[in-house]
Amino acid sequence: MIIAIDGPAAVGTGTLARGLAARFNLGHLDSGLLYRAVAARVLAGGGGGHDPDQAAGAARAVAMTELAEPALRREDVGRVASMVAVHPAVRQVLLGRQRDFARRPPAGTDGAVLDGRDIGTVVLPDADVKFFLTGSLDVRLVRRVKELRARGEPFIQARVEQDMRERDQRDRSRAAAPLAAATDAHVIDTTEIDAEAVLETACRLVRSSPRISRTKVRRKSGAPSDTAQKVRSQESP
């Protein structure tokens, strides 16, 4: 099973992806980390993300093993990530990495879930299930601030807000693979619902997806038959 999740900054695509990965035994790739790893390499080389050749060179050098580096989560790295992400050559290199992950998910898993900005539209247009999360800027700002506090990262709230606005604008307006919902994506507005409710909604939609056979989901999620029965009856109109 292949699941694609997209959405703007701090909307909760990563949280949903981790939740679905646990429920359905899927490998998870946060594709934003690839762009962040490119940005970290560009920054380390004294660049600012504007030079396409330097950014493409950094993209070619990125290894999947670098993605666990905590420094990639920093706000300045995120800002430069959205700058390197506008270069088509960078996207082309990272496209291969993402598709490889989906084609060969980690051993022992039953598929892959990828989250980012263009997974359902460009990276995995044939994904079995696609989600596009939306959320007001205010609610996303609250989530990002909570995340920064939890990591103990110093921040200025007005700056975080400004960065998020600029990043969203850049992600939506770039020519190459802009942030957009695929026409066949389930759009979930997260403004009024918490992460758990988003996960439950998404799980229901996965189980009722015509591309996923119920038997397959039941077996993969390891749910006992009475739970599966309950899910089935909840899905019935």
Binding site for ligand CDP (CB under 6 A): 9-10, 31-32, 35-36, 78, 81-82, 85, 116-119, 167, 171
Least distance (Å) between residue 198 CB and ligand CDP = 15
Residue placing its CB nearer to ligand CDP in the complex, 47 or 116: 116
Least distance (Å) between residue 95 CB and ligand CDP = 9
Residue placing its CB nearer to ligand CDP in the complex, 103 or 230: 103
The C-alpha atoms of residue 199 and residue 23 are separated, in whole angstroms, by: 10
What is the 8-class DSSP label of residue 106? P
Residue placing its CB nearer to ligand CDP in the complex, 65 or 215: 65
Nearest alpha-carbon partner for 138 in 161, 168, 162, 172: 161
Least distance (Å) between residue 77 CB and ligand CDP = 8
Strands 186-189 and 129-134: parallel
Least distance (Å) between residue 93 CB and ligand CDP = 12
Residue placing its CB nearer to ligand CDP in the complex, 23 or 118: 118
What is the 8-class DSSP label of residue 222? T
Least distance (Å) between residue 116 CB and ligand CDP = 2
Residue partners of 158: CB distance under 8 A and separation at least 6: none
Residue placing its CB nearer to ligand CDP in the complex, 170 or 214: 170
Residue placing its CB nearer to ligand CDP in the complex, 31 or 54: 31
Q: Which whole-number Å values give the CA distances from 31 to 6, 135, 178, 237, in the listed order? A: 10, 20, 14, 36
Least distance (Å) between residue 34 CB and ligand CDP = 7
The C-alpha atoms of residue 173 and residue 180 are separated, in whole angstroms, by: 10
Least distance (Å) between residue 207 CB and ligand CDP = 26
What residue is closest to ligand CDP based on CB?
32
Residue placing its CB nearer to ligand CDP in the complex, 179 or 231: 179
The C-alpha atoms of residue 130 and residue 115 are separated, in whole angstroms, by: 10
The C-alpha atoms of residue 9 and residue 211 are separated, in whole angstroms, by: 28
Q: Is 179 exposed, middle or buried (0-12, 13-18, 19+ CB in 10 A)?
A: buried
The C-alpha atoms of residue 222 and residue 209 are separated, in whole angstroms, by: 18
CA dihedral 196, 186, 102, 116 (to 10 degrees): -70
